């Protein structure tokens, strides 16, 4: 049931009038949050990507299949959830090789098409707390996803390294408050399209 609030004179109380609208209910199993190909597989954060803007109907196994079809080598997929264990629209995918990982990062965006939805999904490197890769002294809160850099920088080293004309177009990425997502991703990159008949298999 939806409600429409109407503006009425101040002398009267606001009224809420029911109107007809469609509401989508998406069930979510706790087991849908994680998919791992093998329990003996070591998961390397340096071969992990952050995936944002996920559709609520896409579970971890479905995400793993899509990413494996596009880039190969997927060993783990996880969907980020809130305190109620419900998906929040982001996730992580880990690969077993650097080539697949770098291909996913270079893609930047993929478009997922299923019978039930079409969604443009953002792919970024998964960021961790790290020292600056240039000075190895200060914390490196900034990450450059351009392959000529692809490292963490402190504030000073970022500005020094990116003072060159050829580097000034690079945009810094930073971890968000939860340490899951990324910010500052560029809008460029190749968009790959994945067509799947089902979202969860």
Kindly state whether residues 134 and 110 are assigned to the same domain.
no
pLDDT tens-place string over residues 77-105: 999 999 999 999 999 999 999 999 999 99
pLDDT at residue 183 greater than cutoff 70: no
Question: What's the CATH code of the domain at 84?
Answer: 3.30.70.330
Asked if the structure places residue 76 within a domain, the reply is yes
Q: What is the pLDDT of residue 6?
A: 44
Residues 114 and 41 placed together within one structural domain of the fold: yes
User: Are 117 and 166 within one domain?
Assistant: no
Kindly state whether residue 24 falls inside one of the protein's structural domains. no
Q: Is residue 67 over pLDDT 80? A: yes
With a CB cutoff of 8 Å and minimum separation 6, the contacts of 168 are 162
- Provide the mean pLDDT of the chain: 83
The pLDDT, as a whole number, for residue 26 is 83
pLDDT at 127 over 50: yes
Whether 105 and 70 have beta carbons less than 8 Å apart is answered as no
Between residues 86 and 181, the one the model is more confident about: 86
Question: According to the model, what pLDDT value does residue 40 have?
Answer: 80
Mean pLDDT of 177-189: 41
* pLDDT recorded at residue 9: 54
Return the half-sphere exposure (C-beta side, CA atoms, 13 A cut-off) of residue 125. 25
Query: Counting beta carbons within 10 angstroms of the beta carbon of residue 75, is it exposed (0 to 12), middle (13 to 18) or buried (19 or more)?
Result: buried
Q: For 51-55, 62-66, 189-193, which range has the lowest pLDDT when averaged over its residues?
A: 189-193
Residue 163 has pLDDT above 50, yes or no: yes
Number of structural domains the chain divides into: 2
Please name the residues in contact with 165: beta carbons below 8 A apart, sequence gap of 6 or more: none
* CATH code for the domain of 141: 4.10.640.40
Q: How far apart are alpha carbons 84 and 82 in whole angstroms? A: 5
Averaged pLDDT for residues 4-14: 51
**Does the residue 61 lie in any domain?**
yes
Read off the pLDDT of each residue in 21-27 and give the average, rounded to a whole number.
79
Burial class from Cβ neighbours inside 10 Å (0-12, 13-18, 19+) for residue 82 reads: exposed
Are 60 and 154 in the same domain?
Answer: no
What is the domain range of residue 157? 130-178
């Amino acid at each position: 049931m939806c409600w429409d609030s109407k503006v009425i004179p101040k002398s009267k109380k606001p009224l809420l009038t029911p109107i007809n609208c469609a509401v989508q209910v998406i069930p979510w199993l706790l087991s849908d949050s994680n998919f791992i190909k093998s329990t003996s597989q070591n998961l390397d954060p340096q071969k992990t990507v952050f995936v944002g803007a996920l559709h609520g109907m896409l579970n971890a196994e479905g995400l793993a299949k899509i990413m494996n079809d596009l880039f190969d080598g997927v060993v783990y997929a996880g969907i980020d959830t809130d305190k109620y264990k419900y998906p929040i629209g982001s996730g992580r995918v880990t690969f077993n090789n650097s080539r697949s990982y770098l291909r996913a990062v270079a893609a930047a965006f993929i478009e997922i098409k299923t019978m039930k939805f079409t969604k443009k999904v953002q792919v970024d490197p998964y960021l961790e707390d790290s020292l600056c890769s240039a000075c190895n002294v200060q914390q490196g809160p900034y990450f450059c996803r351009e392959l000529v850099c692809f490292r963490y920088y402190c504030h000073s080293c970022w500005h020094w390294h990116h003072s060159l004309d050829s580097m000034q177009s690079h945009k810094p990425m930073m971890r968000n408050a939860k340490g899951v997502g990324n910010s500052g991703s560029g809008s460029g990159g190749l968009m790959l399209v994945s067509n799947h008949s089902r979202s969860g298999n």
